[in-house]
Amino acid sequence: MKKSVKKSRKAMMAVLTAVVLLAAMAATAGCNSKSGAPADGGAAESTTTERTVTDVKTIKIGIGNSFNPMCYVDEDGNLQGYDYETLKKIDELLPQYEFEYEPTEFKNILVGLDTDNYDIAVHHYGWNEERAKKYLYGEVGNFDYGGYTFRVAKGSSIVIGSEEDLGGLKIAVSTSSNVAYLTEKFNADHPDNPITIIYDDGTTEQHLASLNSGIYDGLLSTSFNDSLDKAAYGDIFDVTGSGLFYDYEKRNGCYFIYNYGDEQLKQDIDAAQQELLDSGWQKELSEKILGADYTVNLSK
C-alpha cells in the first residue's frame, strides 16, 4: 500500500512539474513576442499567430522622403505621412515582421527594390500594366484617386472632355511616374495625334511656374493634389477635365510594391490592410491627414 501511495505521489509530482514547465515556457514566449503587438489578442489575432522573437523577420522599406503628405521627412528629421502611418499600423498587426524604413528620393526606390536593398517600395504608387510585369503589386490599396484631372494655366481656354482631347498638347510628366506611362501608352495608341511629352522632375512650384509661362499646356493631376496645391500656392491654375484614365474594371488605387517571390509578405500585408479598411481605421486616418475619405471605393 505504501509503495502504491509513493508511486501516486511521484506521478502527481511529475504532473505538477510538467505544468510548471509549460507555464514557464508560455511566459517566456510571451516575453519574447514582438514589441508593439497587441497583448490582448485584439486586431492582430484576426490576421496572424503570435510568434517568438526568433521568428521575427526584418522588412526593409524604401519610402519617399519629400512627398508631403504621403511620405516625407519633417524638419526634425522624422518620417511622416499617410503611407508611413498606414505602414506603422500594419506593422503592429503583424508580429512576425519588424519594419525598417529608409526614406529616399522617388527615383531611388524601385532601384532599391531591383537590387534587393528593399523588400517593399512605397511612394503612393498607382497601378500600371508595364510596371506590374516587373513588380508584384499589393492587392489592397489605401487610397483611391478617382482618375486624373488636367491642370491648365489660369484663364486658359483648353477644355478636356476625355483622354482623346489630350492629343496635340504639351504635357509635363515626371520620369518613371504613372502619368509618364499613361501618356506614353496614349501616344502608342494615337500615333496620328500624339501628346508632346515633356519630362520634368522639378518641384510642384517649378511645374506651376512653367505651366503659367506656357512652357507646356497642362499637367495631369488628381483632385486631392489640386486642392492641396491651391491651398499651398493660391488660385494660380485652373482644372479642366476629370476622371481621366479611370476604368472601373481596373485597379485605380495606390498600392505597395514588392518583388516577385515575396508573395507571402504581400498576402500578409494585404490582409492587414483590408482589416484597416473594414474597421474604419483607414477612413479615419484619411480624414485626419488628407482632409477627406479617399478610401470609399476600396472596402469590400
DSSP for 36-88?
A: TS-TT--GGGGT-----GGG-EEEEEEEESEETTTEEE-TTS-EESHHHHHHH
Tell me the per-residue pLDDT of 5-55, one tens digit each, with 9 for 90 and over: 333 333 334 433 443 333 444 444 443 434 433 333 333 444 444 445 568
Q: Delineate the domains of the chain, giving CATH numbers in brackets.
A: 43-144+250-290 (3.40.190.10), 149-239 (3.40.190.10)
- What backbone phi and psi angles, to 5 degrees, belong to 181? -60, -45
Region 206-217 average pLDDT: 95
Which three cell numbers, joined as nine digits, stand for 222?
488628381
CB 70 within 8 A of CB 87: no
Give the number of C-alpha atoms closer than 13 A to the C-alpha of residue 46, restricted to the C-beta side.
15
Q: 94 or 249, which is more confident?
A: 94
To the question of pTM greater than 0.85 for the whole model, the response is: no
CB 84 within 8 A of CB 101: yes
Give the number of C-alpha atoms closer than 13 A to the C-alpha of residue 8, restricted to the C-beta side.
5
pLDDT at 223: 86
> Distance between CA atoms of 36 and 162, rounded to whole angstroms?
48
Consecutive H or E run containing 102: strand 97-104
Other Cβ atoms within 10 Å of 213 Cβ, number = 9
pLDDT at 191 over 90: yes
Residue at grid coordinates 499613361: 182
Which three cell numbers, joined as nine digits, stand for 275?
482589416
- CA–CA distance from 71 to each of 22, 106, 256, 282, 284 (Å)? 45, 10, 12, 16, 18
> Hey, which residues does 64 pair with through a beta bridge?
104
Which three cell numbers, joined as nine digits, stand for 206?
517649378
Tell me the per-residue pLDDT of 234-265, one tens digit each, with 9 for 90 and over: 999 999 989 898 876 666 789 999 999 999 99
Region 177-196 average pLDDT: 95
* 3-state DSSP of 231-281: HHHCCCEEECCCCECCCCCCCCEEEEEECCCCHHHHHHHHHHHHHHHHHCH
